[in-house]
Amino acid sequence: MPRSPNAPAVFESLHPSVPAAFLLGTLGVSMLAVQPVYLVFSLAGGLFCSLLCRGARETLWALRWQLPLLLLLCLLNPLFSASGSTLLFRLAGRGVYLESLAFGACMGALLLSTLLWLGCADVLLGPDAFLDLSGRGLPVVALMASMTLRLVPQLMGRAREVEATLDACSAAGEARGTGGLRGRAARLNGVLLSWSLEDSLERAAAMRARGWGARERRSSYRPHPLRPSDAPGLALVVALLLLNALLAWVAAGQWRFYPSMPTLLPWWGYVPWALQLLLPSLLVLRDRLIWWRLP
């Protein structure tokens, strides 16, 4: 299945459960462990992965609104919560404290890293992952999702075509604008509604003709079965996740913003977190190296 044009094909060789477990875990730890080192690592890892997988252009294009958001959060928090012990300066009679500025910055980093990882999710998982993963347990839900994925673009395409054709028929003159924009929208809705209803009759017949409802339970075709070679990857991801969840719990437990922040010290516990965040990037780099060395 085609992904975004810059997406490395390497993730397609994994069962979708591997990147799905990775993403769920990474997002979960990033969002729950509000501790500067964890957040900075997550932010850097997300940025690196996004640059590698989605390309510089797409990443920078997204940062154009994400960075101002980070800055805004960072600056807004001190205005609303005037707590902390290190007074930086006074603004309109309110104290601006280092601690509340740091808390704002951490919240901004949390949001930005979440956005970055979600941006990578499309590349890591591919559009079919949800359907693949839900297909086995919930075949009917997977089918409904699949139908939605088909019908929504079809409807949008038809809407564009109806509008464009109406624009093209200038001989129909002012008739196009009867009732102005609202009249036009009503006409478009009418056309799309009757078209979709008509279609749905034939689609329902086509579904029945292909045995829809013939069995109590549908089976589910899986083009990507979980293969033995996926097991080590899945095991590694899950093991790292559990370890990091534990370490993050310890680290976040020792951290506080108010009234004053403790000093950060080097700690071996950050290493597994960095390793986990680098996993997808390492996979992409290994793939590039293989292709670079090929004659």
Partner 1 sequence: MTMPAALQAQDLSFAYATPGGGAAPVLDAVSLEVPQGAFALLVGGTGSGKTTLLRLAKPEVSPVGDRGGDLCVFGEPVEELAADPLCSASRVGFVFQSPQSQIVCDSVWREMAFGLENLGLGQVEMRRRVAETCYFLGMEPWFRSRTTELSGGQAQILSLASVLVMRPRLLLLDEPTSMLDPVAEKGFLALLRRVNQELGVTVLLATHRPGPLLDFADMALELKDGRVHELALGELRSREGLRVQASMPARREEAGKAALELSDVWFRRTRDSEWVLRGLDLSLGEGECRAVVGGNGCGKSTLLALAAGVLRPQRGRLRRPLAGSQALLPQDPKVLLSAQSVSEELMEWSAAGSYGWGDVQNIMNELGICQGLAKLHPYDLSGGQQQLVALAKLLLARPRLLLLDEPSKGLDQGAWHAMVRMLLSAREEGATILLATHDMDLVRVLADSVTLLFDGQAGPSERTGDFFEGSWLWR
Of 79, 118, 153, 290, the one binding partner 1 by CB under 8 A: 153
Q: Which CB atom, from 83 or from 200, has the smaller least distance to partner 1? A: 200
Q: Is 229 in the site for partner 1 (CB under 8 A)?
A: no
Name the 3-class secondary structure at 97.
strand
User: How many CB atoms are closer than 10 A to CB 284?
Assistant: 20
d(CA 244, CA 277): 11
Of 76, 90, 94, 212, the one binding partner 1 by CB under 8 A: 212
Q: Is 184 in the site for partner 1 (CB under 8 A)?
A: no
Q: Which CB atom, from 165 or from 260, has the smaller least distance to partner 1? A: 165
Residue count at the site for partner 1 (CB under 8 A)?
A: 58
Helix (H) or strand (E) holding 132: helix 129-135
d(CA 98, CA 100): 6
Of 65, 92, 170, 182, the one binding partner 1 by CB under 8 A: 170
Q: Is 137 in the site for partner 1 (CB under 8 A)?
A: no
Q: Is 168 in the site for partner 1 (CB under 8 A)?
A: yes
Q: Is 76 in the site for partner 1 (CB under 8 A)?
A: no
Q: Amino acid identity of 258?
A: Y
Short-list 83, 121, 170, CA closest to 3? 121
Of 21, 138, 143, 245, the one binding partner 1 by CB under 8 A: 143
Q: Amino acid identity of 26?
A: T
Q: Is 67 in the site for partner 1 (CB under 8 A)?
A: no
User: How many CB atoms are closer than 10 A to CB 53?
Assistant: 25
Of 137, 223, 262, 295, the one binding partner 1 by CB under 8 A: 223
DSSP-based helix, strand, coil % in the chain, nearest 5: 75, 5, 25
Of 198, 232, 282, 290, the one binding partner 1 by CB under 8 A: 198
Q: Is 162 in the site for partner 1 (CB under 8 A)?
A: yes
From 36-44, 170-178, 252-260, 273-281, give the range in contact with partner 1 by CB under 8 A.
170-178
d(CA 120, CA 54): 7
Q: Is 146 in the site for partner 1 (CB under 8 A)?
A: yes
Which backbone phi and psi does 201 adopt, to 5 degrees?
Answer: -60, -45
Rounded to the nearest whole angstrom, what is the least distance from the CB of residue 207 to partner 1 in the complex? 6
Of 72, 141, 179, 222, the one binding partner 1 by CB under 8 A: 222
Q: Is 164 in the site for partner 1 (CB under 8 A)?
A: yes
Which residues contact residue 204 at a Cβ distance below 8 angstroms, ignoring those fewer than 6 apart? none
Tokens representing 102 are 């740091």
User: How many CB atoms are closer than 10 A to CB 21?
Assistant: 17
d(CA 2, CA 128): 10
Contact positions vs partner 1 (CB under 8 A): 1-2, 5, 128, 131, 139, 143, 146-147, 149-150, 153-154, 157-158, 161-162, 164-165, 167-176, 187, 190-191, 194-195, 198-200, 202-203, 205-215, 217-223, 225
